[in-house]
Amino acid sequence: MTDDVDLEAELGFEPAVSATGADVSDTSPVRRRPRRKRGWRTRLAGGLVLLVALVSMGALYGAFAGSSNANSSADDQAQIARGQQIYQTTCITCHGANLQGVTDRGVSLIGVGSAATYFQVSTGRMPATGQDAEQPRKTAKYNEA
């Protein structure tokens, strides 16, 4: 760093403020507080506090969350059997055994999401009456049950 004499000689005048913004008249060194090194005890204590907090939150969630609203496996099996029966008697004739579609009857359902299928069935558009791009809405043949 250049001193004030060099700046004055180089510029022809003494600058009011240094290039760094520091007060050039104050030459005392900046005192900094020495950093404390964290010991292994401090780190271990912090880790234990975090662990206790996480375990406590998990226990509180488990206590207040209650049980899920999942159906019993017997109900699930009955719904699966009913859905399979409906599929085999109505859907398979147009959409095929593997949902690949049947020529001149129904399009492939591969890659079609469950929301689209639900919409078509719940609004009465399926089973379809023809091969039109848009099926007219009619009374639904299937309900939630």
CA distance 128 to 102: 13
Q: What percent of the chain has pLDDT over 70?
A: 74
Would you call 90 exposed, middle or buried from its count of C-beta atoms within 10 A (0-12, 13-18, 19+)? Answer: middle
Section 47-61 average pLDDT: 94
pLDDT at 53: 97
pLDDT at 99: 82
pLDDT at 47: 93
Section 66-80 average pLDDT: 71
pLDDT at 84: 85
Neighbours of 127 (CB within 10 A): 16
H or E segment to which residue 70 belongs: none
pLDDT at 26: 58
pLDDT digits (tens, 9 = 90+) for 14-36: 766 666 666 656 556 667 777 77
Q: Is the pLDDT of residue 75 over 60?
A: yes
pLDDT digits (tens, 9 = 90+) for 82-124: 888 888 888 888 888 888 888 877 788 888 887 877 887 778 7
Q: Could you give the C-alpha distances from 15 to 1, 2, 26, 115, 136, in angstroms and in order?
A: 15, 13, 15, 74, 85
Max distance between CA atoms of the chain, in angstroms, equals 101
CA distance 50 to 44: 10
